[in-house]
Amino acid sequence: MPDWLIAHLKEGGQIKADGILTVMEQLLEQSPTTRYAYLCHPGVQHISKLKKEGGFCGYRNIQMLISFIMASGHIGAHRFEQLPSVFQLQDWIEDAWDRGINAHARIETGGIRMTRKYIGTPEAQAVFGVLEIPCESHGFKNREPGRSEARLLAEVERYFETPNYDPAYKVRRTNMPPLYFQHAGHSMTIVGIERTRGGELNLLVFDPMFRDSTAIVKLVGREFEHRFPDLALKPYRRGHKYLKKYEAFEILKLAKFTQSSSPAA
């Protein structure tokens, strides 16, 4: 790992944006193509990679799940005074392997401490396992075109559905944790799901590869009317055009958070 990157990571080394989900909520309300949508807990931060940092998407997605834990007081919140650095996450992963948690990944990677090697769902699960934060992973793999995608989307919609919502609400806010989402070569954080008026389902994601635009960040904390809500939502939607490229997916769920407030709150 180059010295400049080590220095940046020791200083914190991530780009964080708060309040993006509240902006997405208004955009979805205003979108002419949205039939309904579910969103996770609003405290989740969008955390993006540093320029030229390498394959750190997995770490950034773990940080996004931890931002939920910290904001919501979820199980394990007492373990975090601030977002852990990439180095801290690497230490926890190696510690988990030492304890036999997903230790096969050490053989596959040869170790990750102070490297830019890719990590995936097993390493994310190792972090939460060593911190005693309950989680579970699910895989979706089928060579028949569209089957893995259909199963993934159905599972994510079931996950976000809650008996507390009023079907009259177009955008249904929940207190649910976000989901760690992996496919070949990349990972993201699922922050919701959308059903279009045409019947299609789109994942709503925070992608660590991309920063939120200045135009989006300027809308945080404001009520607004957007001229082109679908254009503004494009970086956060992953639908059939994207998902059809892959035949296998994985998600990692934290233990469900108790729904303590109505989506109308």
CATH of the domain at 216: 3.90.70.130
Q: Is residue 197 part of a domain?
A: yes
Q: What percent of the chain has pLDDT over 90?
A: 76
pTM over the 0.85 mark: yes
Query: Mean pLDDT, to the nearest integer, of 38-56?
Result: 84
Q: Is residue 48 part of a domain?
A: yes
Query: What's the CA gap between 159 and 193, in Å, rounded?
Result: 10
Q: Is residue 264 part of a domain?
A: no
Q: Mean pLDDT lowest for which of 18-27, 64-73, 90-99, 161-170?
A: 161-170
* Domain count of the fold of the chain: 1
Q: Is residue 154 part of a domain?
A: yes
User: What is the structure's pLDDT at 230?
Assistant: 98
Q: Is residue 263 part of a domain?
A: no
User: What is the structure's pLDDT at 258?
Assistant: 47
Task: Name the phi and psi angles at 127, rounded to 5.
Answer: -60, -50
- What DSSP string describes the chain? --HHHHHHHHTT--EEE-SHHHHHHHHHHH-TTEEEEEE--TT--EEEPPTT--S-HHHHHHHHHHHHHHHHT-TTGGG-SSPPPHHHHHHHHHHHHHTTSSTHHHHHHS--TTS-----HHHHHHHHHHTT--EEEEEEE-SSTTHHHHHHHHHHHHHH--TT--TT-SEEE--PPPEEEEETTEEEEEEEEEEETTS-EEEEEE-TTSPPPHHHHTTTT-----S-HHHHHGGGEE-HHHHTT-SEEEEEEEPPPP--S-TT-
Contact 130, 191 (CB under 8 A): no
User: What is the structure's pLDDT at 167?
Assistant: 76
Q: Is residue 109 part of a domain?
A: yes
Query: Mean pLDDT, to the nearest integer, of 199-211?
Result: 97
Query: What's the domain range around 218?
Result: 3-254
Q: Mean pLDDT lowest for which of 10-14, 25-29, 66-70, 224-228?
A: 10-14
Quote the mean pLDDT of the chain. Answer: 90
Q: Is residue 140 part of a domain?
A: yes
Sign of the torsion formed by the C-alpha atoms of 64, 40, 142 and 209: negative
Query: What's the CA gap between 166 and 172, in Å, rounded?
Result: 8
Q: Is residue 261 part of a domain?
A: no
